[in-house]
């Protein structure tokens, strides 16, 4: 009987400790900081490869990108495969990490343009 109680108490303690650590261990600012860094890096990628045809996400040689809620997967597909006049950008040109940053930037760009309307 004593051991059962001991195990029960031990389990409760472990549960409390585990939960406590999980809460305290989550830095609430981290994701925002990471996003900002990604957005800044994404802007560089955008300016190098996309700006000339989609200036500021507006219409240029290519169509406007800010005027529609393009999902990340659609952007990724378009960039990797190209279409019509738009060339494809493979992993050796835009890495997967750069692609993530690029998409993060394009979403921020779209929101920023929405506000000025
Ligand atoms: C040489 C010019 C050119 C460059 C460089 C270019 N694009 Fe495009 N883009 C186009 C054209 C033209 C289209 C329209 C293609 C079609 O549908 O025939 C297009 C279409 C797109 C679309 C689909 C838009 C829609 O309405 O569905 C996305 C997303 C896109 N481009 C993103 C990018 C990104 C991101 C980059 C940079 C990595 C980039 N493009 C670089 C010319 C370009």
Residue 20 lies in a domain: no
Closest-CA residue to 103 (of 56, 51, 39): 39
pLDDT of res. 113: 76
Residues 89 and 26: beta-carbon distance below 8 Å:
no
**Residue 4, in any domain of the structure:** no
Lowest mean pLDDT of 8-17, 30-39, 51-60, name the range. 8-17
CATH code assigned at 75: 1.10.760.10
CB 79, CB 53: distance < 8 Å = no
Does residue 64 have its Cβ closer than 6 Å to ligand 1?
no
Q: Decide whether any atom of ligand 1 lies within 6 Å of the 75 Cβ.
A: yes
Number of domains in the chain: 1
Would the CB of 79 count as within 6 Å of ligand 1?
yes
Reported confidence tier of residue 70, pLDDT bands at 50, 70, 90: very high
Determine the atom of ligand 1 nearest the C-alpha atom of 65.
24
Contact 64, 54 (CB under 8 A): yes
Q: pLDDT tens across 17-33, in order?
A: 565 555 566 555 556 66
Give the pair of three-digit tokens for residue 2.
């004593």
Identify whether 9 is part of a domain: no
Residue 59 CA to ligand 1 centre (angstroms) = 10
Q: What is the pLDDT of residue 3?
A: 74
Range of the domain at 98: 29-116
Query: pLDDT value at position 4?
Result: 73
The finding on whether 69 has its CB within 6 A of some atom of ligand 1 is no
- 112 — pLDDT class (breaks 50, 70, 90): confident
53 Cβ below 6 A of ligand 1:
yes
């Amino acid at each position: 009987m004593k051991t059962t109680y001991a195990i029960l108490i031990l389990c409760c303690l472990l549960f409390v400790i585990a939960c406590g650590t999980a809460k305290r261990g989550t830095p609430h600012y981290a994701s925002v900081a990471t996003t900002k860094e990604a957005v800044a890096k994404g802007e560089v990628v955008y300016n190098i490869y996309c700006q000339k045809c989609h200036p500021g996400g507006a219409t240029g040689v290519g169509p406007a990108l800010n005027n529609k809620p393009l999902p990340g997967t659609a952007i990724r597909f378009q960039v990797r495969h190209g279409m019509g006049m738009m060339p494809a950008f493979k992993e050796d040109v835009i890495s997967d990490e750069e692609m993530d940053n690029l998409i993060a930037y394009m979403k921020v760009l779209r929101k920023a343009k929405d506000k000025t309307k």
